[in-house]
A and B are shown apart, each in its own frame.
Chain A
Amino acid sequence: MDGINPTYFHVAANFNFSPFERVTRLVLPAIIPEIVTALRMTVTISWLVVVAAEMIAVRSGLGFLILDSRNALRMDFVMDGMIVIGLVGLALDRLMRGLGELEGARWSRMRH
């Protein structure tokens, strides 16, 4: 909330915004770009952390599959696992980038 330009709250008051409108038309749109940027940064990192955690901690999942296959000398499964991890990571990044291209998330960026 602190990051929002106080002028916008003056405008909201000037145009008789209800508390509901103040949230839906001001606060939410104002913070969406930051949320999307934050998501983009964290989601891809989280994915890597998840895979790594699977290798160490649990007995299921892609990370575990790779480790288990390596131990069983099934290199084809290891490769499969790596490819799937890569693809999912790529897909997540695409998704996040797509989110960033939505008009609602773009307003704060410099004019092009």
Chain B
Amino acid sequence: MGHIAIENLSKTYINRRRRSRDKENPLQQKGERVTVLKDIDLEINDGEMVCFLGPSGCGKSTLLRIIAGFEPACDGSLRINGQPVKGPSADHIFVFQYSGLFPWMTVAENVALGLRHLKNRRQQQAQILEFIDMVELNGFENHYPRQLSGGMQRRAELARALAVNPDIMIMDEPFSGLDFLTHMKMREEVVNMHAFIKKTMLLVTHNIDDALIMGDRVVILGGRPTGIAMNRQLDFPRPRSFEKAPELSRLRDDVFLMLGVNYAI
């Protein structure tokens, strides 16, 4: 089960100034408070693929980190399956914006991190290979991350996350820095994977097309402080394309406008 309920969630950072910047004004030394997220209300159903869009620095990563339990919210409530989130857990696995693979472990050892509960070695090995196979990295089990290309590293991290069998997978810009073709293939893989395992997936992206093609729902964050600017169900059949669905194409123009681009090129 991967049901997420977020109510009135707010997050404020206090940026501490270095001492003695302005001695006359002691209030300033306490640091300025920056409200990053304000009054976020969001409900995500089990098995949903939700894509988050928003301008850079609006707090997308912050929201995901809070959901993952890496950071506490300042205000409001966050419940996963009815339980308040107390901290990181193997039930909600985070796939990092920049590689989170352990560079001192091989691909197989990294994937094994999610399968440590299996005491039967043979069974564990079989499962490791199965997940590596799923992301088409067979033959690279014993390679170290530095010996893989950027796209292969992402896939390895995906395999590691899948191996834990989490209720929720949280992905922060999983396609950033990939070349166009790898990007397209990874996108397809993630969509297929989602159709297959039916887990709740949260995905942050800068790419509007990614969000509209992949998401069961698209959530746009915006404003200052950041709130939810749009929360829209996408009931378009898959595989999706902008040519076949004029309504999707119109929505795309709307989203471009919302994010401050006047015309979609």
Q: Answer yes or no: are A and B bound together in one complex.
A: yes
**Chain A interface (Cβ < 8 Å from any Cβ of B):** 7-8, 10-11, 13-16, 25-26, 29-30, 32, 103-104, 107-111
Cross-chain contact B90 with A14 (CB below 8 angstroms): yes
Tally of A-B residue pairs with Cβ under 8 A?
52
Residues of A within 8 A of B144 (CB): 103, 107
Cross-chain contact B100 with A11 (CB below 8 angstroms): yes
- Contact A29 B98, CB 8 Å, known A15-B114, A111-B146: no
Whole-angstrom distance from the CB of B219 to the nearest CB of chain A?
Answer: 23
Cross-chain contact A15 with B113 (CB below 8 angstroms): yes
Please report the C-alpha to C-alpha distance between residue A103 and residue B105 in the assembled complex, in whole angstroms. 9
Q: Is B242 an interface residue (CB 8 A)?
A: no
Between-chain CB contacts (< 8 Å), 16 pairs = A7-B98, A8-B102, A10-B70, A10-B96, A10-B100, A11-B96, A11-B102, A13-B87, A14-B90, A15-B114, A15-B116, A16-B89, A16-B90, A25-B105, A25-B113, A109-B146
Interface residues on B, range: 20 to 34
Please report the C-alpha to C-alpha distance between residue A10 and residue B66 in the assembled complex, in whole angstroms. 12
Q: Is B76 an interface residue (CB 8 A)?
A: no
Please report the C-alpha to C-alpha distance between residue A94 and residue B21 in the assembled complex, in whole angstroms. 52
Secondary structure of the A contact surface, majority rule: helix
Please report the C-alpha to C-alpha distance between residue A32 and residue B105 in the assembled complex, in whole angstroms. 13
Cross-chain contact B94 with A29 (CB below 8 angstroms): no
Whole-angstrom distance from the CB of B150 to the nearest CB of chain A?
Answer: 11
Q: Using an 8 Å CB-CB cutoff, how does the interface string of B34-57 with A read, 1 for contact, 0 for none?
A: 000000000000000000000000
Secondary structure of the B contact surface, majority rule: loop
Whole-angstrom distance from the CB of A93 to the nearest CB of chain B?
Answer: 25
Q: Is B88 an interface residue (CB 8 A)?
A: yes
Please report the C-alpha to C-alpha distance between residue A29 and residue B89 in the assembled complex, in whole angstroms. 23
Please report the C-alpha to C-alpha distance between residue A32 and residue B153 in the assembled complex, in whole angstroms. 23
Give the residue among B70, B93, B100, B102 with the most A Cβ atoms within 10 A. B102
Residues of A within 8 A of B93 (CB): 14-15
Cross-chain contact A14 with B103 (CB below 8 angstroms): no
Cross-chain contact B90 with A104 (CB below 8 angstroms): no
Residues of A within 8 A of B102 (CB): 8, 11, 25-26, 29
Within 8 A of A (CB), among B128-181: 144, 146-147, 164
Residues of A within 8 A of B89 (CB): 14, 16
